Amino acid sequence: MVDAIKERRWSDLELTPREYALCHVADKLSATPTRMTEADWQPLRDVGFDDEGCLEVAHVIGIFNYLTRMADGLGLLLDPETETAGETGEALRRPGE
């Protein structure tokens, strides 16, 4: 699953229409935000998002982009458990799970 996300192969994943729409919007808004058009938001509208919902999606995408850029720019390193999860695709577990 992680490889499919990294390689933008959404169709290889078993996603709901809502998840599929979110992936496409997040990808374009992250990679080429100045090329976003009204049509790029249509997949979200098709699954029930209104203007407020689209704005919230944009905020969440923007925050994640900001945080990862800050971490990368400051040279922060992942802890060993997170690094392993990223390499193996296995989800992190809370202690005791």
Domain boundaries, the chain: 2-88
Q: Which CATH number fits domain 2-88: 1.10.3720.10, 1.20.1290.10, 2.30.40.10, 1.20.140.10?
A: 1.20.1290.10
Predicted structure pTM score: 0.76
Q: What is the pLDDT of residue 36?
A: 96
List pLDDT tens digits, range 40-57: 999 999 999 999 999 999
- The residue count of the chain comes to 97
Taking CA atoms, 69 is separated from 9, 36, 49, 80, in Å, by 23, 20, 27, 20
Tokens of 4: 């499919």
- Sign of the Cα torsion 74, 75, 79, 85 reads positive
List pLDDT tens digits, range 63-80: 999 999 999 999 999 899
